Structure 1
Amino acid sequence: MEFAVLGTLMAREGNVDCTPSAPKLRRVLATLLLRANKLVLTETLAEELWQHNPPPTAMATLQTYVYQLRKSLGADGRDREGMIRTRTDPSGYVLNVDPEKVDLVRFRSLLGEGRRALEEHRPERASDLLHRALSLWQGPVFGGVRSGPVLEGHAAYLEEERMNALELRIDADLRIGRHRELVSELKSLTVTHPLHEWFQSRLMIALHLSSRRGEALETFHRYRHVLQEELGLEPNHEIQQVQRDILNCEPTSWYGIDRVYPSVR
């Protein structure tokens, strides 16, 4: 059975959609998938479902939800009793699944491999792995689920992981000379995230390496103006160093990412 949380919540066995339709069951499934093959405490599930005000019958109701979820995951006629195992000490549930069938697990595995490849100076390999990792994202995480505090917190964390993967992938693509292809993507990212200094600096680099030095410098001045107007701050040292390198026409260090990128993120 395949599961997805990086977009619309989905549980599928071949062509059979086993995703529960009831809102509370979807929240239970999403919470269990966050820690696939690991124990999820009943307290965690109760917090997600009822926040800090569980009803007196919370544990019995939760047992009913798990029973219904097992039935939903058995929509293809198979016995799913062993898929969600009950633990009593400590009290909780374990969703037993093939890790390769969960998009979140695959994403984190590819992200880790891509990061290591970049640290080992294998940018082509890193680019391929990170492109594959990001392709698993099909929309906002936990799509179609009315999230409670547990899922909302994890959604913010997962979005940070996605942004980290995106930054690493852009680094890898810059290292293998894809600066021209990156310009339009980075322009879009700087519009969506106008105060994200990392995207601004990489747009400047991509523009300059594409023989668009004037636009690169305009990007810096525009960002500096926005930063001063919005927060009363000056750009940090790294992006100012990028500006100085562009003014001095020193692009060679950028291919090695040693000067402009003091450490691999």
Structure 2
Amino acid sequence: MNIRVLGPLSIDNISVDMTPTARKPRKVLALLLLNHSRVVPISALMQELWDDDPPKTAPATLQTYVFRLRKQLAEAMGLSAAEVANDILRTTQNGYLFVRESAVFDLSAYHRLSKAGSRAIDDADLRTAAESFGRALRLWRGPALTDVVPGPLIRAAVAGLEQSRLTMLDQRIELELRLGMHREMLGELATLVTHYPFREDLHAQFMIALYRSGYRGRALEAFQQLRQNMVNELGLEPSHRLQALQQSVLASDPGLDEVTVVSLPRSSGMPEVPAVASSF
């Protein structure tokens, strides 16, 4: 079974597509997958489907959606509905649980590679860390669950995943800068600062990569472009940190050969956060 949530929702078995097309069953499946191997309470599923105004028929309707999902999985995998209920989409005392340990699941792979990269940083193996983060980032095929109409829980989970992706991107670039790969990164960074015109860390990394590659003037131009974007669109000046970086470039400060922009994660850092809060 192949499961993908880092982009459009997709679940298939040996090229047989099992992705539901109806909007609300897709939301049920998406929330279950975001909490893979964790129980999703019925109350959380109902909030996702109907926010704070569920109809009186909500519990029965939710059961119907789960029944349809099980039936679709059973038909595609050549299993009975009972086997799917026992082994894949289980009913618990107060909710549902999606379990498929043998599945190829992009979100699980993303978290696994993230932890592997952090462990490599602990071991001072920056090249392995950069490679792990790069592999994790390549799992993304677009915004997470981009074709699912989100309710409050999926929306919050997707926002968290997107922030995780951007943070990991910053960290992978930081690692490659520390590995002396500034020239190799110029093209990617030029594209990224265009896509994210207000992300100061990315602009700082671009300025440093340009400076270390011998493009001092272009590094100053990158700062001026950031400043123009921020003043015109936000009415703000770049932070004091970015202004200090500009002054360092103007002065050809030798410290720019060692300066860092973002901190690197440790394996003892923040744990993986589920999509459903434990208070449900």
TM-score with structure 2 setting the length: 0.86
Q: For the residues of structure 1 that align with 2:171 and 2:116, how far apart are their CA atoms?
A: 11
Q: For the residues of structure 2 that align with 1:77 and 1:24, how far apart are their CA atoms?
A: 24
Q: Can you give the 5+ residue segments of structure 1 that lack an aligned partner in the other structure? A: none
**Which residue pairs with 1:40 in the alignment?**
40
Amino acid at match of 1:77: G
Deviations 1:172-231 (A, max 9, x none): 111222212211211222112111111110110111111111000111123223323333
Amino acid at match of 1:86: T
**Which residue pairs with 1:77 in the alignment?**
78
Matched, 1:94 2:91: no
Which residue among 165, 168, 171 is the counterpart of 2:171?
Answer: 168
Q: Deviation of residue 260 (structure 1)?
A: 3.1
Q: For the residues of structure 2 that align with 1:140 and 1:95, how far apart are their CA atoms?
A: 22
Q: For the residues of structure 2 that align with 1:262 and 1:173, how far apart are their CA atoms?
A: 12
Deviations 1:21-73 (A, max 9, x none): 22221111100011101010111111111111111011111111111111111
**Which residue pairs with 2:158 in the alignment?**
155
Is the deviation greater in 212-221 or in 138-147?
138-147
1:1-265 equivalences under 5 Å are 1-74=1-74, 75-78=76-79, 79-82=83-86, 83-88=88-93, 91-98=94-101, 101-251=104-254, 254-255=257-258, 259-261=259-261, 263-264=263-264
Q: Deviation of residue 262 (structure 1)?
A: 6.7
Alpha-carbon RMSD across the aligned residues, in angstroms, is: 1.9
Deviations 1:104-162 (A, max 9, x none): 11101211222332354322111110111011101121132222222112111111011
Q: For the residues of structure 2 that align with 1:171 and 1:85, how far apart are their CA atoms?
A: 42
Q: Can you give the 5+ residue segments of structure 2 that lack an aligned partner in the other structure? A: 266-280
Query: Helix, strand or coil: the match of 1:81?
Result: helix
Distance 1:241 1:180, change over 3 A: same
Q: Deviation of residue 261 (structure 1)?
A: 3.3
Q: For the residues of structure 1 that align with 2:175 and 2:122, how far apart are their CA atoms?
A: 10
Q: Deviation of residue 99 (structure 1)?
A: 7.2
Q: For the residues of structure 2 that align with 1:155 and 1:38, how far apart are their CA atoms?
A: 17
Does the CA contact (< 8 Å) of 2:248 and 2:256 recur in 1?
no
Distance 1:57 1:262, change over 3 A: closer
Amino acid at match of 1:85: R
TM-score with structure 1 setting the length: 0.90
Identity of aligned residues (%): 40
Q: For the residues of structure 2 that align with 1:100 and 1:251, how far apart are their CA atoms?
A: 50
Is the deviation greater in 141-150 or in 51-60?
141-150
Q: Deviation of residue 12 (structure 1)?
A: 1.6
The higher relative CO (CA closer than 8 Å, separation ≥ 6) is in 2
| Paired residues, number | 260
Amino acid at match of 1:174: L
